[in-house]
A = this chain, B = another copy of it.
Amino acid sequence: MGHSIEGRLDLGDPVHLAAQLVDIPSVSGDETRLANAVEAALLCCPHLGVERDQDAVIARTHLGRGHRVVLAGHLDTVPISENIPGRFETRQLADGPVDVLWGRGSVDMLGGVAVLLHAASRLAAPRHDVTWVFYDHEEVASPLNGLGRVALHHPDWLAGDLAILAEPTAAQVEGGCNGTLRVIATFPGVAAHSARSWRGDNAIHRMGAVIDRIAAFGNPVVTVDGLDYRESLSIVAISGGRANNVIPDRASMTINYRFAPSTTGEQALNVVRAMLAGSGATVMVDDLAEGARPGLDSLLAQEFIAAAAYAGDRPSVSAERSPFGVVAQGAPSSLVGGLRVRAKEGWTDVARFSALGTPALNYGPGDPVLAHTRDEYVPVDQIRQCAAAVMYWLEGPVIAGPGEETS
């Protein structure tokens, strides 16, 4: 892939920028090279003040606007699996041929980071003050998370009235996120020779009713602030057995509950406990993170959603090289009726903003189903569309009266 001369990032086009980012390996724990490149590029923008904490880079405007918005993306990827350097390809998808950027991180979430970096360099006078956040260690254990670390060390750096997290959402706005609870249930028993099973108490045999109950839970839908959150309750691991001729005296299962943001962690735990009732199992909470409400009542959120809808409703927008020119052409088909907001099923770092009191939305290019797969690719049109949405939102004159700039 063609890098700019001297290895510096060229922020001029979000799609080519995404390709440059993919080609800089940045597996969790190894983000320094990419963080250095991002920091260097942002330091060249005279309208931004730049801060750094380990491999997290924060850039802010200080224009004295009435509101401040935070746009954030993580720099790290899951391990590379023979999928860098990236390449541009044409894929035959259901809707016909689609130009994509293939490679590790293209979906999760270097495509989104490219959108943010590009917009950061262009938006010298945004309608709201903006904080751009690029952070490390998102793909590994929660205690390492760079956003969590910055929130702990420099909470003022993250202050804002609305946050947008560039999670892959296929350029749809996804509000809030489900919570997640992981429980390890251990079933007791009494060992015996398997030729005399009546002398023992088979721990595995105690699991049947619990499995049946969990399998019957289905995927209930919970509506929160007008968005539908679909829950999942799953046994993700099971183990037990000492030897082929021994009645097992111990068995365990790992249960993962993805629960709606209106449910507290304690309520979620009670749901899982009810599944285990009567089994004799003991419960250990292995992980618990509450969800985030979508926060759609925020005026800033509605403003952003309108901009995203505008960018997404224009069939021609994604075929153009310059999103700004495209967004400026023609009136939006709908600024309000075109709102396409979904609930986010997976837990994301929007919950960290939510915990700081900042409503947060997920919005970024790429199909989340392709995240972490070897065949990770992002449609280049989605990168352009997301960049258009961010620019349209924050370039003051456009949203004030897009029709005026037409013709």
Contact = CB atoms under 8 A, between A and B. Distances in A.
A238 B240 contact: yes
A182 B245 CA distance: 9
A370 to B, nearest CB: 11
Given A208-B209, A211-B211, A256-B244, A199 B369 contact: yes
A236 B347 contact: no
Each complex incorporates copies of this chain amounting to 2
Contacts of A194: 232, 234, 236, 256, 258
A194 B181 CA distance: 11
A153 interface: no
A230 B182 contact: no
Contacts of A237: 204, 240-241, 244, 248
Given A208-B211, A238-B241, A193 B253 contact: no
A406 interface: no
Interface string A239-250: 111111111100
A196 B241 contact: no
Interface in A38-55: none
Interface stretch (A80-88, A115-123, A212-220, A316-324): A212-220
A212 B219 contact: no
A215 B235 contact: no
A341 interface: no
Contacts of A258: 194-195, 197
Nearest to A346: B195
B208 A346 contact: no
Interface of A is mostly: mixed
Nearest to A251: B238
A401 B369 CA distance: 86
Contact of A195 (B178, B199, B245, B254): B178
Contacts of A265: none
B197 A219 contact: yes
A71 interface: no
Contact of A182 (B178, B196, B244, B346): B244
A339 to B, nearest CB: 22
A207 interface: yes
A233 interface: yes
A237 B210 CA distance: 17
A241 B254 contact: yes
B346 A196 contact: yes
Contacts of A195: 178, 180, 232, 258, 345-347
Nearest to A218: B198
B234 A244 contact: no
Interface in A69-124: none
Given A208-B210, A236-B247, 14 more contacts: A196-B369, A197-B232, A197-B233, A202-B234, A204-B237, A205-B235, A206-B215, A208-B209, A209-B212, A236-B242, A237-B248, A239-B241, A244-B287, A245-B256
15 contacts: A195-B258, A196-B346, A197-B233, A198-B219, A204-B235, A204-B236, A204-B237, A205-B214, A205-B215, A207-B208, A208-B212, A236-B246, A237-B241, A237-B248, A241-B254
